[in-house]
Chains A and B, each alone.
Chain A
């Protein structure tokens, strides 16, 4: 153990920590929880789209969305963390996580609009393409993180690559401040990644 190089040792310790703490969270949810979560999403979408709360419409919608949810259960809920009870998950998401994310993204979107307007007027741009590392590993989590990075001020995601079990993002930054990977990642991702790690593994 003492003869392996320093960078490999660090990497190995990180992998061991991940196996120790995250292998339980990375399991799939039970089948009925996946079906119920997908069913809630699809049924609320049905009610909003049809705009009709009569009883027969609700019954038709419930049956149709239940059939679709039982087929499509792996599509949306595959990467959710295996933690807590179903009702706990729903209540936490509706009362805590969703308002938090909406408030963070709303202020960042307004800030990015003002920053683009400032860049258009003054033309003080200094663009570059930076590679940053993320701690997320699931497909849904990386997708939402990349979309959030695109909407935050001054950054645009170009590509995602997975190498040796780690995920990297290539980000086009309109005003490069630092080339250090950790500092750039902290500046670009902010607290969105901390938020996403509570839900997706």
Chain B
């Protein structure tokens, strides 16, 4: 039962992440939606698969390893994209920008 709930939660989160990429105003807020919703959705779906399938214990361990690698790589890539966008010169729509104060 719990695997169906996890699967449904992951799908709903992925849908909201895609909606966020369309609706938010600039690069950085869109990256919020992409990073968090992709990581959470993919990890919940992989956890549901690891609970649901029963071939052997190694397949489950491989799925958990995949979830761990996603959690490790996804924030790093979003950090690289955000810093690259800032260095390229895209101004964020913000109320306060302390990064521009320190790097004029």
Binding site for B on A (CB under 8 A): 45, 48-49, 51, 105, 109-110, 112-113, 116-117, 119-120, 123, 125-131, 146-147, 150-151, 153-154, 156-159, 161, 170, 172, 174, 176, 179
Q: Is the CB of A170 within 8 A of B98?
A: yes
Known pairs A159-B83, A176-B95; A48 contacts B78 (CB<8 A): no
Q: Is the CB of B36 within 8 A of A147?
A: no
Q: Is the CB of B16 within 8 A of A129?
A: no
Count of chain B residues with Cβ under 8 Å from any Cβ of A? Answer: 46
9 closest A-B pairs by CB = A51-B58, A150-B75, A117-B16, A113-B40, A128-B96, A147-B75, A131-B98, A120-B20, A170-B99
| Chain A residues within an 8 Å CB radius of B12 | 117
Known pairs A120-B16, A158-B79; A48 contacts B96 (CB<8 A): no
**A156 to B: closest C-beta gap in Å:** 6
| Distance in angstroms between the alpha carbons of A107 and B35 in the assembled complex | 16
In the complex, the number of residue pairs spanning A and B with C-beta atoms less than 8 Å apart equals 119
| Distance in angstroms between the alpha carbons of A117 and B13 in the assembled complex | 7
| Chain B residues within an 8 Å CB radius of A159 | 83, 86, 99
Q: How would residues 49 to 84 of chain B score, 1 for a CB under 8 Å from any chain A CB and 0 otherwise?
A: 000000010110110010000011001101100110
Known pairs A116-B33, A127-B29; A157 contacts B79 (CB<8 A): yes
**A91 to B: closest C-beta gap in Å:** 21
Give chain A's interface secondary structure class: mixed
Q: Is the CB of B29 within 8 A of A125?
A: yes
**A129 to B: closest C-beta gap in Å:** 5
Partner of B78, one of A119, A153, A156, A161: A156
Partner of B95, one of A112, A126, A154, A161: A126
**B24 to A: closest C-beta gap in Å:** 7
| Distance in angstroms between the alpha carbons of A129 and B23 in the assembled complex | 20
Q: Is the CB of B72 within 8 A of A125?
A: no
Q: How would residues 81 to 98 of chain B score, 1 for a CB under 8 Å from any chain A CB and 0 otherwise?
A: 011001000001111111
